[in-house]
Structure 1
Amino acid sequence: MNTANVLSTEVEMVERGCKEVRDYSDVVTLEVEASAIQPAYQSSYDVIYDSAKRYPETIAIHYVEDVEDASKDLKISYQQLLTQVNKAANLFSNLAGEQAPTVSYILPNLPQTHYTIWGAEACGIVNAINPFLEVEKTAALLNSVQANILVTLGPGFGQEQWSKVVALTERVSSLSYVLLINPTGDESLPSLGDVEVLDFDQSLNVQVSEYIFKPRLITPQTIASYFHTGGTTGTPKIAKHTHLNEVANAWNCCLSVPASPGSVCLVGLPLFHVNAVIATGLSAFMKGQTVLLAGMNGYRTAGLLANFWRLIERYQVATFSCVPTILSALIEVPIGEANIESLDFAICGAAPLSPKLMESFEAKTGARVLEGYGLTEAGCVSTLNPVAGERKVGSIGLRLPNQPLKIVVLNDAFEIVRECAEGEIGSLLVKGDNVFPGYLDESKNAGVLLADGWLNTGDLARIDSDGYVWLTGREKDLIIRGGHNIDPGEIEDILMGHPAIASVAAVGQPDAYAGELPCAYVCFQKGQKASEKELIEYVRSRISERAAVPVFIGHLEIMPVTAVGKIFKPEVRRIAMMRVVDVALREAGVTAHVVADADITSDSNLIITSDAAALDVGAVLRDYNIGYTLNEPAVVAENGA
């Protein structure tokens, strides 16, 4: 560990949140100015250690156990956080013996989750697991990383989760220890066969609080963590993060997002996701912020959203990170007598943000909404609308400092043919110390890690004249339902098992609330057919998660395909778009004719012909992230259309 010579008065630049970014030129300026003062962190542990020396009494983690009863709150200072991280590292190191521990965790948003993450990274590798994954997929992940320690909830938190833990110990042979967070403090622990069961908090308490754990040789290139990608459906891939990846992305965020020591960042996103771990975790700690864990279940915590504005006032929250569906829900919650002047901005990502939603939230709260973009493979955050400059609704903003970004044309071998012109749509590539070294299964790296350090995000985008990035499609074809990733492949695989189906394409259809909802289009075998109701029930009875059940399944006589016979999903998406827009307009009483733009690369996905005023059409569609061109019938006639 490089705990020496980390401290520097120049790090005060981080404490001030640096210069507020206004435009692309500020991004370039920050890269130059910050290069001379970047802290010499070699690991995530260095960040925790450094902040404990700079802000020992500042509250690092403020845990809200009950959103309606502040007397149950728990506050952990930076010095206490360092002590707990040291104890966790000592514990994991002692349990693992001669081998470096690989610590998996299946936990909600608790202070112990942070102790686990940073303690495991200090002496080994931490592995975040989504608690909502089914048992078989969770077991496959634990087996892939060869987890020898699992930190999770005890049976007192609920039998459903505990049954999963029992099943995992029967399926993961590498597991030697299960450490339980026990709400009752009961000394009698359940038996799990050959796997030793320990009380996490009690085991932590008996550890030495100083840095004595048997460390691996930690360098910036050492693997710190494993995060799985692919949401809760489909087959997750395991992405490796180095200490350099995590520290670099946290520093990128420091340069882009202003904050001061002790300012409060509310965390409602889950701690198995890189956003809560890096963007509102390690980066917040780097700046000396207070991380407010608002309930163990984050935004799912009972009463959290209903009491949200009172919590903003009570804890003087300055920022929070979320997905668009959270903003939609908060708009419906009355502010009442709550004073929310402390709230500066909300960072929103993971799904498209509609202009109306952004405008409504800002008008209601007076706080700014910053739309951004990121992916696990690039650490966490890669772009963000500027804090102090123009925020272009629908754009994912400017690239972060120290993250080169470009739009290119790739050939079938994933070689860069050329860089795209301004406004031209192409493959979005990013580069920098934040970019991961690859998946644990190296066969998955093909087409992702490109020559000269570039990462192929799998997304399609364009860059405008001001340097703002606009997503235009996803090569990965993931359906993003309210920030929740759904793999269309699982839907397609199930439908292809139906005897009447010849071909199928599952895509996301626009939705005013969730951004996208899963739908599918099918072609039938000759002489076969099935009703929409039958097909939806067929999927529902076989799919691993309700969120992935299509809300609509339609029939196509001919499936759109490319020249080489592959299903052409951009066209299928536009078919879904036309249907959704046509229904929305008809239900609003707007008579219109909706067709797809002949130019598949156009930002105007649809052409709408209507006698209705532009304001009427716009009022119906402003909640949807859809580009369209509105024509009047007379104009169409003059053009001979």
Structure 2
Amino acid sequence: MTDTLLWPDYTGPADLAAIETVPLEERGLPETTYALLARAAQLWPDRTAITVVPEAARWREPQESTFAELLAEVHRYANTLHRLGVLRGDAVALMAPNCAELITATLAAQLAGIAAPLNSGLSRQHLGELLRRSGARVLIVAGPELDDQSWETAQALAGSGLLDAILALRPTGATGSAEPLPTVNGVRVAYLAELARDGEETCFDGVTPHAGDLAAFFHTGGTTGAPKLAAHTHANEVADAWMIAANSLLDEESVIFAALPLFHVNALVVTVLGPLFRGQPVVWAGPLGYREPALYPEFWKLVEHYRVAAMSAVPTVYAVLAQVPVDADISSLRFALVGASPLPAAVRERFHEHTGITLVEGYGLTEATCASVRSFPDAPRPGSVGQRLPYQHVKIVEPESWEELPAGETGVLAISGPAVFAGYVTGRDEHGPILDGLGKLRDGWLDTGDLARLDEDGFVHLAGRAKDLIIRGGHNIDPGVIEDALLAHPDVTAAGAVGRPDVHAGEVPVAYVTLAPGAEATQDELRAWAAERVPEQAAAPKVVTVLEALPVTDVGKPYKLELRADATGREFTEALSGIAGVEGIDVGIEEGSVTATVRVAADADQALVKAALGQYAVHWTCVVAGPQVTH
């Protein structure tokens, strides 16, 4: 294949039309993620593929592997899985913080079977459900040296009869003898690297995958509520990785920085598969990635040392970096991509003023493999997350009728193309995983659940999550307008707006913020500030609450369900304040919805509780010494 066929000129929005004159199937993309790795090892065998830092304080002591070494290690690991009985349609679960062995194991799981990364922060109940749904009987997990909590969870899951094998990983750069592993009745327990040490490294002994075979199951959702399991094919991942790699601003010498957890699609597609296309070296942060506080004081020196050219992170990371003194030469950093949640204008401006680097927004979701929209540093489009990626298509539809809306009108964003996932895994039968779109797929189009509009040039402008809309008396309020108003205040570092239950309006807007160190802005001052700057008075927050930190998921996405739960708890506490016998209110999150439990004394008047809370559209339960009352 020629370079011009595989790598068209793609520097700005005007290039999209020319790129799509060549059908994607004629560009000669590798068929699978394994073929992609094998191609890289053939083209650049001696070039450094991955540089993995053991921890932030030891960023000058990495473990390195060339592309040829990475392929050999993947062969050894995949052959080990094959010997353990993993076949093409079998899932292999992986649960560990980032380390050198996890990168190899993830690629090996996609070669031998289907990779099913897990977030160890999920409850054991949810992890067990994901194992059952995926059918995974082999778990590759952090050993006791790497993460003792993950290791304890793995033993508990095995003790419940969910696993046939537990394969432990050691920390990056570990030396000396590994800690002995306990026995678990009926379960194979061993270190993966030890099992694979003498394995075949020149080829894979099993059946290699094809483009339409399943490559990975990624769970999607917050840290509570039952996660869904999205299935990606090899063709999905290869196509999306190529769309990301087809970026003329970066070349083969460009060093990519990776610090997001490998249970997130961005880490796999953007910082593992994408760089394989061009043989770009990737520098991986320590096990905690961006969640390690010690990384930030060292970050700019790390960029200078490794000549990092591109990085990908969430807005909260850039908000922190905008406050870290630039104490090194960071001229190599040309491409700083931000995604996962909308980028506040204040964060963009502060980061640019602080570093001189323009943040490049993108948009994607697990159900579309990873990325679907990108922007361009040399062609800014204020308020937009960018233009659709080549061969993906977008439209705005009315949520009920699914009728396409014209440019400028806000509706639900829908996506089609080669990156749209195969469906959610709902179970298994004798033929393998059972997939179902669960209402998210309509005639080849993916319902993203995100509100957006397209401008006349086809750029996507997000307007929030459909489920995050604040509906005040039938009037839709975008929480983003409230957050933008608060982020314009010099003392505010982060903001989140949600709906608080209200007897008269259904819900009213309230906001939560964090402040810069030493800031003295009061909650009343911030509420007045926002009221003067929101586009309509209906959007003025009734209350602004200052917190030490806003809740986020493990990859840094804002987690607004916790804010909604807090707002509900405050409203219910006020509504019940005059009723004798109310002992407390517990607000939680179940199946993605806020629920409340009211604890009352045995002699409390339950009728008064019901009268006070029955006017709210929130599920609640009254717990007393006798029977429970549920609404």
TM-score (norm 1): 0.74
Which of 368, 371, 393 is residue 358 of structure 2 equivalent to?
368
Cα drift, residue 202 of structure 1: 1.2
**In the superposition, relative to structure 1, how do residues 444 and 13 fare at CA in structure 2: closer, same or farther (>3 Å)?**
closer
Alignment of 1:409-448 (within 5 A): 409-411=398-400, 416-417=402-403, 419-441=404-426, 445-448=437-440
Question: Letter of the aligned partner of 2:312 in structure 1?
Answer: S
Cα 1:148–1:44, aligned 2, differ >3 Å: closer, same or farther? same
The SS at the match of 2:101 is helix
1:179 aligns with 2:113: no
Q: 1:586 aligns with which of 525, 547, 552?
A: 525
Cα distance in 2 for partners of 1:376, 1:426 equals 20
Hey, what's the Cα distance between the residues in 2 that align with 1:42 and 1:172? Answer: 36
Once the two structures are overlaid, the 10-residue window that deviates more, 313-322 or 467-476, is 467-476
The structural deviation recorded for 1:192 is 1.9
| Mapped partners of 1:209, 1:294: distance in 2 | 27
For the 8 Å contact 2:92–2:139, the answer to whether it is kept is yes
Q: Tell me whether 1:133 sits opposite 2:79 in the alignment.
A: no
Tell me how far apart the structure 2 counterparts of residues 33 and 65 of structure 1 sit (CA, whole Å): 43
Distance 1:335 1:227 in 2: 36
* Structure 2 CA distance for aligned equivalents of residues 82 and 33 of structure 1: 31
CA distance in 2 between partners of 1:97 and 1:274 (Å) = 23
Cα offset, 1:67, TM superposition: 3.1
- Give, in angstroms, the shift of residue 169 of structure 1: 0.8
Distance 1:416 1:81, change over 3 A: same
Deviates more, 1:251-260 or 1:49-58: 251-260
Q: How does 1:33-44 map to 2 (within 5 A)?
A: 33=22, 35=24, 38-44=27-33
Alpha-carbon distance, 1:34 to partner: 7.2
Determine the structure 2 residue equivalent to 1:214: 206
Q: Which amino acid aligns with 1:297?
A: L
Residue in structure 2 matched with residue 113 of structure 1 by the alignment: 102
Partner in structure 2 of residue 557 of structure 1: 503
Query: Which residue identity lines up with residue 395 of structure 2 in the other structure?
Result: K
What is the alpha-carbon distance in structure 1 between the residues aligned to residue 532 and residue 522 of structure 2?
Answer: 11
Superimposed CA distance per residue, residues 397-443 of structure 1 (whole angstroms, 9 cap, x where no aligned partner) = 111111011112243xxx532x2111001111111111001101278
Alpha-carbon offset, residue 79 of structure 1: 0.7
2:608 alignment partner in structure 1: none
For residue 233 of structure 1, report the CA deviation from its aligned partner.
1.7
Pairs within 5 Å for 1:372-411:
372-389=362-379, 391-411=380-400
| Structure 1 position 596, deviation (Å) | 7.1
The CA distance in 1 between the partners of 2:522 and 2:126, in whole Å, is 38
- Map residues 234-273 of structure 1 onto 2, 5 A cutoff: 234-256=225-247, 258-273=249-264
Alignment correspondent of 1:463: 454
- How do 1:236-385 and structure 2 match up within 5 A? 236-256=227-247, 258-336=249-327, 338-385=328-375
Counterpart Cα distance in 1 of 2:326 and 2:29: 44
Percentage of pairs with the same residue = 32
Equivalent position to 2:3, from 5, 10, 30: 10
Cα separation, 1, equivalents of 2:148 and 2:530: 54
* Equivalent residue number for residue 79 of structure 2: 90
Hey, what's the Cα distance between the residues in 2 that align with 1:321 and 1:300? 14
Paired residue secondary structure (1:133): coil
Cα deviation 1:86-126 (Å, max 9, x = unaligned): 11111111111667542100011112111111111112111
Deviation at 1:307, TM superposition (A): 0.5
Deviation at 1:55, TM superposition (A): 1.2
Change in Cα spacing, 1:366 to 1:597, as seen in structure 2 (3 Å) is closer
What is the rounded CA distance, in whole Å, between the counterparts of 1:232 and 1:86 in structure 2? 34
| 1:194 match | 186
Tell me which amino acid in the other structure corresponds to 1:261. E
Equivalent residues of 1:354, 1:393 under 8 A apart:
no
2:87/2:112 contact within 8 Å kept: no
SS at match of 1:96: coil
Question: CA–CA distance in 2 between the matches of 1:351 and 1:98?
Answer: 37
Cα distance change of structure 1 residues 180 and 148 upon mapping to structure 2, 3 Å threshold: same
- Map 1:510-525 onto structure 2 (within 5 A): 510=483, 512=487, 517=496, 521-522=500-501
Instruction: Find the aligned partners of 2:493 and 2:128 in 1 and give their Cα distance.
Output: 30
Aligned counterpart in structure 1 of residue 466 of structure 2, from 431, 453, 475: 475
- Aligned-partner Cα distance in 2 for 1:309–1:36: 41
Root mean square deviation of aligned Cα: 3.2
Query: By how many angstroms is 1:37 displaced?
Result: 5.6
Instruction: Give 5+ residue unaligned stretches, structure 2.
Output: 427-433, 471-476, 515-520, 543-557, 559-631
- CA separation of 1:468/1:606 partners in 2, compared to 1, >3 Å: closer, same or farther? farther
**Contact 1:20/1:387 (8 A) holds in 2:** no
Structure 1 stretches lacking a partner, 5+ long: 1-7, 480-504, 523-555, 561-571, 609-623, 625-641
Query: Measured at CA, do residues 461 and 239 of structure 1 come closer, stay the same or move farther in structure 2, by a change above 3 Å?
Result: same
Q: Distance in 2 between matches of 1:478 and 1:193?
A: 50
Q: Bigger shift: 248-257 or 442-451?
A: 442-451
CA gap 1:265/1:379 in 2 versus in 1, 3 angstroms:
same
Q: What count of residue pairs does the alignment treat as equivalent? A: 513
Q: d(CA) in 2 for partners of 1:22 and 1:48?
A: 28
**Per the alignment, do residues 577 and 257 of structure 1 end up closer, same or farther by CA in structure 2, a change over 3 Å counting?**
farther
C-alpha contact 2:497 2:509 (8 A) present in aligned 1: no
Task: Identify if the C-alpha distance between structure 1 residues 476 and 240 changes in structure 2 by more than 3 Å, giving closer, same or farther.
Answer: farther
Question: Cα distance, 1:212 vs. partner?
Answer: 3.1
3-state SS of paired residue (2:72): helix
* CA shift for structure 1 position 168: 1.1
One-letter code aligned to 1:521: R
Q: CA deviation at 1:193?
A: 2.0
2: CA distance, partners of 1:22 / 1:189: 53
1:231 deviates by 2.4
Q: Residue 591 and residue 86 in structure 1: after superposition, are their counterparts in 2 closer, same or farther (change >3 A)?
A: closer
**1: CA distance between counterparts of 2:438 and 2:493?**
32
Residue in structure 1 matching 2:510, options 549, 552, 576:
576
| 8 A contact 1:259–1:289 mirrored in 2 | no
User: CA separation in 1, counterparts of 2:119 and 2:248?
Assistant: 27
Map Cα deviations across residues 126-180 of structure 1 (whole Å, 9 max, x no partner).
Answer: 101012111111111011111121111112234333221111112343x211111
Letter of the 1:271 partner, please give it.
L
Q: Provide the rounded CA distance (Å) in 1 between the counterparts of 2:96 and 2:219.
A: 15
Aligned residue number for residue 159 of structure 2: 170
Q: Does 1:231 align with 2:210?
A: no
Q: Distance in 2 between the 1:467 and 1:396 partners?
A: 11
- Of 148, 164, 174 in structure 2, the residue corresponding to residue 159 of structure 1 is 148
* Distance in 1 of aligned mates of 2:88 and 2:459: 47
SS of the residue 1:72 aligns to: coil
Gap change, CA 1:126 and 1:393, over 3 Å in 2: same
The one-letter code matched in structure 1 to 2:509 is I
Shift of the 401–387 alpha-carbon distance from structure 1 to 2, 3 Å rule, reads: farther
Inter-CA distance 462–332: structure 2 relative to 1 (3 Å threshold): same
Are the equivalent residues in 2 in contact too, given 1:325–1:514 (CA < 8 A)? Answer: no
Task: Return closer, same or farther for 1:326/1:315 CA change in 2, 3 Å cut-off.
Answer: same
Letter in 1 for 2:350: S
C-alpha contact (below 8 Å) 2:75/2:108 kept by paired residues: yes
What is the SS of the residue equivalent to 1:150?
strand
